[in-house]
Amino acid sequence: MGRVDVNRSGELEIFVRVIELGGFSAAARACGMTPSAVSKLVSRLEQRLGARLLNRSTRQLQLTAEGCGLYERGVRVLAALDEAERCAGIQSTPRGKVRVNANVPFGQHFLLPLAPMFLERHPDVTLDIVLTDEVVDILEQRTDVAVRAGPLKSSTLMARKLGQTHMLIVAAPSYLARRGMPLAPADLAAHNCLDANYARARSGWPLRLPEGDIVVPAAGNAQASDGEALRQLALAGLGLARLAAFQVREDIAAGRLQAVLEGFNPGDSEEVHAVYVGQGGHLPLRVRAFLDFLAEQVRLD
């Protein structure tokens, strides 16, 4: 047991606030303290633990390996306290900021349209949303929930599956009228195949032949940093694009895009997960509410 004159949970909460809010000043404002008091508290915590938790510079704070470990475990400890208080009836309403990072297609088609409903349901919660197709470090970016498509790397993070989506090769009718309909995978060599340029993008387009699966290089005169940009290029009639079905189902229904080479579609799909810090079910109420909302409302294919 710790000494009674050391408020370990209070120190931990201040430290977590410093990381989540990005600095001493922001944490001080949120906690009703002065920046110097917050800085001294973190220094005292480091001295008590015998480890440097933060590398300080004039522009930013950077977590050390020890600080990263304390932050990750601290989030779980504070979530457990929140859960204990909730069960005791002290706090039953989610409140606070939820920082969300999502890939652009999911953000455009699900997260942004659903945000008003979530905030109406939970008026004491605020959302801080970042859309990017680059995979971010949740701890480094102080993110509560990250929505990721594709296979997950092994990590200590938790994940909640939101569904999976099939992939389609599509083109605008104007492009097909100009360049012709591809009837077999070999025809793609004569077409403008638009591809993604972000790091996690798959190399080539998988297709299925009677003798087995192949991967066809996607060669074209334009690349884009996210799936929604590729969709816009396809809608403009620039070329073919391989996109998630949920991105283009409304376009196909409206005749703005047309699926091609479906007879050669291997039927592969991408799983979509909400990734977060937390183990054993211990999550802040605001994060739990957001995860439950996504699981309830998101329908992929």
**Residue 234 scores a pLDDT above 60:** yes
pLDDT in tens, 205-226: 999 999 999 999 888 999 998 8
Tell me the pLDDT tens digit for each residue of 174-214: 999 999 999 999 999 999 999 888 655 567 899 999 999 99
Paired strand residues for 127: 98
Cβ atoms within 10 Å of 240's Cβ, excluding its own: 27
**Per-residue pLDDT reduced to its tens digit, 110-163:** 999 999 999 999 999 999 999 988 877 777 777 899 998 887 776 667 889 999
Nearest-10 Cα torsion for 109, 115, 116, 122: 150
Give the gyration radius of the chain's Cα atoms.
Answer: 24
Residue type, 64: T
Split at pLDDT 50, 70, 90, the class of 101 is very high
- pLDDT score of 82 more than 50: yes
> Confidence band (pLDDT; 50, 70, 90) for 5?
very low
Work out the burial of residue 244: count CB atoms within 10 Å of its CB; fewer than 13 is exposed, 13-18 middle, 19 or more buried.
buried
d(CA 257, CA 233): 11
| This prediction's pTM | 0.68
Residue 6 has pLDDT above 60, yes or no: no
Q: Quick one: which H or E segment has residue 241?
A: strand 240-244
Cα–Cα distances (Å) from 187 to 85, 182, 263, in that order, read 63, 5, 14
Lookup: tokens for 191: 């077409």
Contact 264, 249 (CB under 8 A): no
Share of the chain residues as helix, strand and coil, in percent rounded to the nearest 5: 40, 25, 35
Which residues fall within 8 angstroms of residue 141, CB to CB, at 6 or more apart? 99, 101, 130
pLDDT of amino acid 130 = 93
